[in-house]
Structure 1
C-alpha cells in the first residue's frame, strides 16, 4: 500500500515543527539559566521572541507550553509569561546540545510504560527477578559510597523490572528507547553528584520503595512508586531539592 502524500507531508512538517520548538525551548531555557531573564522577570512577548528566533508563533507556543509544564515559567492572563525558577546551570553543562526537551518527553514515556510494567511485575515477578533487582540496588549502593555515576546499575534495575512484567511489548518499547533513557539517567545522576550526599540517598530510597512494593507483590504501590520516582527524576533536571 502506497503512502498517502498528504499524510507524509503532515508528519514531516510536524517533525520539523517539533525540532524547531525544541530549539526555541532550549534557547529560552539558556536565557533563564544565564540570568538574562531573572526569576520573577517577564519573558519578551511571543511576537518579539518569534522575531528574535526567526520562528513562527505556533512553534514558539509549543516551546512555551513545555516550559510551563516543566514549571520553569508561568503565564498570567493578560500579562504575559514570567520565570518561576532558574534551573541549575549544570543542566546545560551535562545535557547534550539540543537534548533537554527530548529528555523530558522520554521521562513522560518512561512513567507510562514503566509504571504499568511495575504493576504487572509485582504480580508476576520470580524469586530470581527479586535477586537481580537486589543485586542492582547493592551495586548502586556501592556506586553512591564510591562517588561513582552508577548509570549501568540504575539501568539494570529498571530493565529487570520491565522484564519481570512477563510482557515482551513493554520490554520492546523500553529497549527501543535505551539510548534516550540512558542519556536522561546520565544527566540526572550527574546533576545529583554535584549536590549533597542526601540527594543520591533520596534517589536510592525511591528505588528501594519500588523494590519493597515488588517484593511484597503490592501492585498499586509498585505502580505508584515507579511513577513517582520517574516523575521526580524529570523534576530533578530543574529542581535540586527533589
Structure 2
C-alpha cells in the first residue's frame, strides 16, 4: 500500500528494488561520489528507464539506510559511500531484501528478548550462554561466526517459550543468515575490533536477560539489530 492509499503491485516493488540496488551500486563504485548531488529525478529516471514514482520509492529506501539525504529545494545528495566489499559479499539482487529482513528483526527480536528475560529457565539460559561462548571462540580464531551468531539469537527466541518466535525465525533463516554473513564479513574487512564491539552488544543483551530486566533486554536487542543494519552501510574505511 502506498502512502497515498493506492495499491502498489509486486512488479512495482520489484522494480523499485532494482533501482535501489542500481543507484547503490553507482554510489559504492564512485560514479556518484560522497557529498555529491545526485542527478535530478527527471534525469535519473530517464537514465534508469523507470517512472519517477518508482525512483522516489528507491530513493526513500536509500534515505532510510542513511546513504542519501534530501535538501529541501536542492535535491538528493550522497551522504556516505558504503564499503565496496559489500558488492562482493552480497548476492546480486539481495541487498534490498536483506534490509527488509533487518527491519522485521528489529521489532520481532526486541520482543523476543523482552519475553526471554521474563521466562528463561536454567536450560534455556544455558543455551544462550553456550552460544555466546562459541562466538567468543570465533573471535579468537578469526572465524566469521555467522552460524554461532544465529544460534545466539535462536536461543533467545527459544527462551520465550513461544513456538511462534521459533517458527518465524525458521521461515526466514536463509535471509537472516545472509544478513549476518554480510554484516560480519564487512566488519572483518574494517577491523578485528569491530566483531568485538558486536560481541559486547551480545553480552549486554545476555546481561539484561539474566537479570530478568525485560525493558533493558528489549532496548539492548533493538540497539544491536539497528546497529547491525547500520554497520552494513558504515562507509569505506578511507572515508572514516
Please identify runs of 4+ aligned residues in structure 1 that moved more than 4 A. none
Q: Please give the alpha-carbon distance, in whole angstroms, between the structure 1 residues aligned to 2:164 and 2:12.
A: 29
On the 8 A contact 1:115/1:223 being kept in 2, the answer is yes
On the 8 A contact 1:151/1:186 being kept in 2, the answer is yes
1:117 aligns with 2:80: no
Paired residues, number: 232
**SS of 1:213 mapped into structure 2:** helix
Which of 192, 198, 201 is the matching residue for 1:206? 201
On the 8 A contact 1:140/1:153 being kept in 2, the answer is yes
Q: Please give the alpha-carbon distance, in whole angstroms, between the structure 1 residues aligned to 2:173 and 2:217.
A: 22
Out of 227-236 and 169-178, give the one that drifted further: 169-178
Point out where structure 2 has 5 or more consecutive residues left out of the alignment. 1-5
Cα shift at 1:30: 1.0
Specify the alignment match of 1:191 in structure 2. 186
1:18 aligns with 2:13: yes
The two structures have a TM-score, normalised by structure 2, of: 0.93
1:233 aligns with 2:231: no
1:142 aligns with 2:137: yes
Q: Please give the alpha-carbon distance, in whole angstroms, between the structure 2 residues aligned to 1:37 and 1:27.
A: 11
Q: Please give the alpha-carbon distance, in whole angstroms, between the structure 2 residues aligned to 1:152 and 1:174.
A: 13
1:102 aligns with 2:108: no
Q: Please give the alpha-carbon distance, in whole angstroms, between the structure 2 residues aligned to 1:132 and 1:172.
A: 18
The two structures have a TM-score, normalised by structure 1, of: 0.92
Cα shift at 1:47: 1.1
Which of 148, 152, 164 is the matching residue for 1:153? 148
- CA RMSD, Structure 1 to Structure 2 (Å): 1.5
Cα shift at 1:131: 0.9
**SS of 1:74 mapped into structure 2:** strand
Deviations 1:122-146 (A, max 9, x none): 0001111111111111111111111
